Structures are given as structure tokens and as C-alpha cells.
Chain A
Amino acid sequence: MEIYLPIAEMSVHWLIILAMGGAVGFLSGMFGVGGGFLLTPLLIFYGVPSEVAVATTASHITASSMAGALAHWKRRSVDFTMAGVMLSGGLVGTSFGVWLLRILREAGQSELVVSAGYVILLGVVGALMLRESLEAIRATRSGTSLPSRPAQHHNWIHGLPIKMRFRQSRLYISVIPPLALGLAVGILSAIMGVGGGFILVPAMIYLLRMPTSVVMGTSFVQILCVTAATTVLQAASNYNVDILLAGILILGGVVGTQFGVRIGAQMRGEQLRLLLAILVLAVGARLLIDLVVTPVDIFSVTVTGP
């Protein structure tokens, strides 16, 4: 049955949207990632306006991070102090990002910035993942284990002022790095529709040196709150959240994730990461091609009012 998406202003078949949510949910369950960085480009390829794709994906991530946040909350593996500090940075970041998106839309450049941002993001993340997974596979074949990173007891983070105690993480560090981290991820959430877990998790482990036991839970809570705030702000100032699109995507996503998790558990970690790296690079390449190839019509029309 065809349905008309009220905000995206297009007719779609609801099964295609459900399948899209399911496929992204499957991949995010299999690879253990949020999936926002795959869902937004997929929606853009399908013809959903970039801005609507970005804002609607944010609400999709709210749903997918809910289950994770709940599970970790019950296990008490969440550093709420840390999440709170990052969240205050995140709220400033997402407010700025939503405002920036509005300025870009009015200038007719939101589509370009979203696409170009994705090309850079997917290119960098994909390349890093590809290198890392290939090294890991080579190491397993030759039978040597990779040298783990040397444990540094002090890095530049410890020289920064305004220190604060984070009980759960057993840390006494400056609030500036978590604030900045939250800010950066908040901006990304608003203009690219991603949760930002792929930046948060490594940064919390290697930069803030939080114990790995609380990293996942804290990032889930942070992503849940930031994407929820992003959804409200986007709806309030850009009118670009399509609740019908989001609802169908979420339904597909929650089912897909369950199957993905089961398949993922049977595969080897480095092979999974290699596959994901190839997928990420392919999506980035497709977006780059769309920016470079001569469009069907070099003119575009936006109805702005009566």
C-alpha cells in the first residue's frame, strides 16, 4: 500500500521503508553499531530530502539506543556524572547544529553540506576500519598477537584545569574534554543524523581512559538523550522530522537488529569489521559520485510559500 509521507512530501510503499529499517537494523545488530550513518545515506538515495533524512534518523537512533541504555542502567554500568557532563556539551552542540542546518537550508546548501560531510566521515572511518581489520586478519594468519597499546598513566588531558571527580569511572579529570566531546557529537547528531557512538566509544577509552565496563552504557545514555533533544529541536525549528517515516523505520529496525545480533555472534570480529569497512566505503563512494556526476537537471525548485 502506498502511503504519503507528510513531511518528506513523497509517496512511498510502506514495505520498502520497513525493509530499509530492517536492513539497517540487521547491519547495526550484526556489527554492533548505531546505524545512523548507514540509514541517512540510504534515505537520501531513495529520494528523501537530505534534511528530512537527517532529522528522522535522529529519532530512529533514539529508539535503537533505548534498549541498550536500559540494559546497562539495570547493570549499573553507566557513569551518570560523565553522561551529564557530556550531555551539557551535547545540548549546546545540537542547538548549534540545528541552527546551522536552518541557515544552510535557507542558503540552499544543506543538501551539499550533508552529502559532503558524509563523504568525509565515511571515507575516514571506512579507511581506518579497513586498515585496522586487515592488520588484524594478517596478524591472526601469521599467528602473532597484535601489540596492545602501551599504557600511559598521564596524557595531556591531565594538564587541563576545572577538574572533577567521576566516581563510577574512578577518574579525576578536567571537564573540558568530555564537554568538547559532547559538543562535537551534538553537532554531528544535528547535521548528519548520527548518534556518534563510533567517535564517543574510542574517545572515552583512549582519550578519557574510562574503564571499558562503563563505556558502552554511558555512551548509550548520552546518545539517547542527545538524539531525543535533536529530534525536538529539529521539529521545532526546521519542521523536518517525519513521524510516519520514523515509526515504520523503527518497527523494521527493532526486528532487524535481533536477527543481526544472532548472525553477528557466529562471525569472527575482524572479518565483520572488514565487511563493515567495505560497506562504509561503498556508501561514501556512491555519495561522492552523486556530487561529481552532472545532475539530471542543474536547476532545483523549492516551494517556499503561497
Chain B
Amino acid sequence: MMRATLFALGLLLLPHAAGAEELVAGLSQDQIQITSSYTGSDLVVFGAIEQPPDIEEDTQPGQRDVVVVVRGPAAMMDVRRKDRIAGIWINNREVTLEGMPAYYYVASTRPLDKIAPPYMLARYQIGFDNVKPQSTSTHKAARAELFRQAVVRERARAHLFTETPSGVEFLGYSLFRVHVPVPAGAPRGQYTAEVYLFRDGVVMSAQSTPLFVDQTGLERNLFNFAHNEPIGYGLAAVIMAVLLGYLSSLIFRQQN
């Protein structure tokens, strides 16, 4: 909700020059289903930059850039820092971050710091440095930042946070395409795909499209079973174990 409001506010700030380029973008799917045999697939974000008719090349002044951001649903995260106590690494300090996206992907035509000044990237929450939680359990800004960076590192290792400085692929002058990898561990929920058109570091046009990631198949059903009917699930696990144990004793006794 918060993000959507921010995004709408951001769009209001856009300059609306007459005859400016318009951005049109779409997604290959607005639903992604994660199944048991799922090892990750691509979402394709594609689009075109439309100019006034009869213009076949970039006649607008300034450097043109496209940035694509895909954000996952917000999550609450407990981040813990280990300290060496009596020679052993023990979880010591804990900070809770609320409203961090559980998934974040950004692709651009050039490295982000070359596209726009930091305040502009911060306004649209573009780039790892600008993925911020809505609130933290600590009042110390420096500490909150340290723990926020830890989330970015952990998510990046799990391929849930990705920065691809050359991920926007242009097919000709106005058409572009981005392959967004969605790994198996991607959380389910509402995602948004945002496309930004920059001119000399200023956002000229932007578009946001929602998509939904869901987990289906056996493993999602098992997860739901475990969380909705925990006692029934436990009993099922026991029955399975007892039956397999019993069957094995039947089969192997006949052999011996």
C-alpha cells in the first residue's frame, strides 16, 4: 500500500513536456506458478519508448536510460548479528526490520550511479542502497543501516536480490526487453514491475504493473497442510513413518 502511494506521488512529480517520449511496457505473465520441479524461471518485462510519429532515431536531447525494478511483497525480518563469545560465534544483537521487500530485482542500461544522482535513485527506491524498511526496532540510524545491508547481502546470496547494470536489452531503437529470474525460494504474494525512462538523470516516464507469484503443486499443499492443520500433519508424518517401517520389515523378512 505504502509503496503504491509513494509510486503515485512520484509520478505526480514527473515533468510533462509536450511531445515527450511515452513509455509502454508489459509482462510476459501476470501470474507465476512455482511448482515442485521448479528451479526458477524467467519473467520477461518488455516495452517500447514511443515518440511522436515519423521519428526513427533518438532526436531527444540528453542521455536516455531505462531502469526496470521488480519488487516482492513486504516482509518482517529478524536480523541477528553473531559475536565471538568465549571462542564461539553466538547470535547476540537482534534488530527487526519491517516492510522490507522479500524480493528485489533491478536492471538498467548502465550502472545506476551513472544514470541518475543519488537523491533521484533514493526517491524511487532504485538500487540496493535504496531498498529501505518502513520501520526498524532500533532508533540508531547507523545500526539500522548495518542490519539493512545484512539483509541485502543475505537476499543477494539466495538470488532474491539482484542488480544487473546491463540487464536491459534493446532490440532496435525503441523496443527493449528484460529477463527477470524468479528463483524457487521466491516468496508468494503480490509483486510489482516498475519501468522507468530516464533522460539525463531525470525520470521522464514510468509505469507500474502488478503481478502475482504463487506456489502450487505438492510442496505448496504440504506447506499449507503443515500450517493449517499442524496436528493432522504431524499424525500423517507418523503414519507414513510407521507404514514405511512396517512395509520394509515385511519385504526384507521375505528375502532373508
Residues of A participating in the B interface, judged by any CB pair closer than 8 Å = 1-7, 9-11, 59-60, 62-67, 70-71, 108-109, 111-112, 116, 228, 231-237, 239, 241, 243-244, 246-247, 250-251, 254, 257-258, 291-292, 294-295, 297-306
Contact = CB atoms under 8 A, between A and B. Distances in A.
Given A4-B38, A300-B79, A243 B74 contact: no
Contacts of A299: 79-82, 147, 150, 153-154
Interface stretch (B22-30, B63-71, B216-224): B216-224
A66 B250 CA distance: 11
B91 interface: yes
Contacts of A228: 238, 241-242
Interface in B90-137: 90-91, 94, 96, 102
B61 interface: no
Contacts of A231: 234, 237-238, 241
Contacts of B173: none
Contacts of B249: 66-67, 70-71
B233 A243 contact: yes
B151 interface: yes
A232 to B, nearest CB: 4
A301 B102 contact: no
A66 B246 contact: yes
13 contacts: A4-B184, A6-B219, A7-B222, A11-B184, A59-B238, A62-B242, A109-B90, A235-B234, A243-B222, A244-B218, A295-B82, A299-B82, A303-B76
B241 A301 contact: no
B77 A241 contact: no
A171 B90 CA distance: 47
Given A4-B36, A62-B238, A303-B102, 13 more contacts: A2-B39, A11-B39, A63-B241, A66-B242, A231-B237, A232-B234, A232-B235, A241-B226, A241-B233, A243-B236, A243-B237, A244-B222, A299-B153
A304 B157 CA distance: 19
A259 to B, nearest CB: 11
A26 B218 CA distance: 29
A70 B222 contact: no
Contacts, number: 182
Contacts of A59: 237-238, 240-241
A16 B31 CA distance: 32
A63 B236 CA distance: 13
Chain A contact surface mostly: helix
Contacts of B36: 3-4
A301 B238 CA distance: 31
Nearest to A298: B82
Contacts of A295: 82, 89
- Pick the most buried of B82, B154, B231, B245: most chain A CB atoms within 10 A of its CB: B245
Contact of B89 (A7, A292, A304): A292
B154 A300 contact: yes
Given A7-B226, A65-B245, A304-B76, A246 B237 contact: yes
B230 interface: yes
A291 B81 CA distance: 14
B219 A239 contact: no
A239 B229 CA distance: 10
B185 interface: yes
Given A59-B238, A64-B245, A306-B189, A292 B88 contact: yes
B89 to A, nearest CB: 6
B227 interface: yes
